[in-house]
Amino acid sequence: MELLDQSKVANVRKLIIAVSVVVPIVVAVLFKVKIDGFDFSFLPKIYAGINGLTAIVLISALYAIKKKNMALHRGLIRFALLLSLLFLVLYVLYHMMSDSTLYGDSNHSGSLDVLEKRIVGTGLYAYYFILISHILLSVAVIPVVLFTYLKAWQGDYTGHKKWTRFAFPIWLYVAVSGVIVYVLIAPYYG
């Protein structure tokens, strides 16, 4: 891999910061856009699968670097980045074309009645804890992963390793919790 020219590092850092700010804002804005007439109800299974595959790829990348296979590690990390981008595009597309699903809303009324609340019980709190932590960390993971990648691209492998201590578990949590959120909410899709 060709290392990044040090004269370009400042520009790449600015780009990472811009992407880290712009992506969550664009996603939030696009969530308010609703386009009717398209059925993308098949997408949650696909993007949950992409999250699961991302987790497998990340664990494989860790294994590859532990075995000192830098080329495989680099390829797997790039693939994980691509999967994460694909997830984001499909996730936003689904939410632009579909109404949000409420956890526990088995009659699809848009709110939980007394019986539905009793059925889900404290599971509702567990679901929202996982969902909220997933969403917050999915925003935080953007700059952390990109700066970690930048360290490797600069050839600063000591710095890369330090950043990875934060990036890897956060990214893995986001991928795995995305699958868990899907499994928990899937029974309530309309």
More confident residue, 2 or 12: 12
Q: Burial of 24 by CB count in 10 Å (0-12 exposed, 13-18 middle, 19+ buried)?
A: middle
CA angle 175, 45, 96 (to 5 degrees): 90
pLDDT attached to residue 171: 98
Q: pLDDT tens for residues 72-109? A: 999 999 999 999 999 999 999 998 998 888 999 999 89
CA angle 159, 162, 166 (to 5 degrees): 135
- Whether 88 contacts 37, CB under 8 Å: no
pLDDT attached to residue 1: 62
Where do the domains of the chain lie, and which CATH numbers do they carry? 40-188 (1.20.120)
Reply yes or no on whether the pLDDT at 175 is more than 90: yes
In this structure, the dihedral spanned by the alpha carbons of residues 43, 134, 54 and 33, taken in order and rounded to 10 degrees, is 30
Predicted structure pTM score: 0.91
> What's the rounded Cα separation, in Å, for the pair 161 and 49?
28
DSSP string, 101-119: PPTT-TT-SSS--HHHHHH
DSSP 186: G
pLDDT attached to residue 5: 74
- The letter for the amino acid at 53 is L
Encoded tokens for 76: 């797997």
pLDDT exceeding 70 applies to what percent of the chain?
A: 99
Q: Burial of 168 by CB count in 10 Å (0-12 exposed, 13-18 middle, 19+ buried)?
A: middle
Q: pLDDT tens for residues 102-155? A: 999 999 898 999 999 999 999 999 999 999 999 999 999 999 999 999 999 999
DSSP string, 124-146: HHHHHHHHHHHHHHHHHHHHHHH
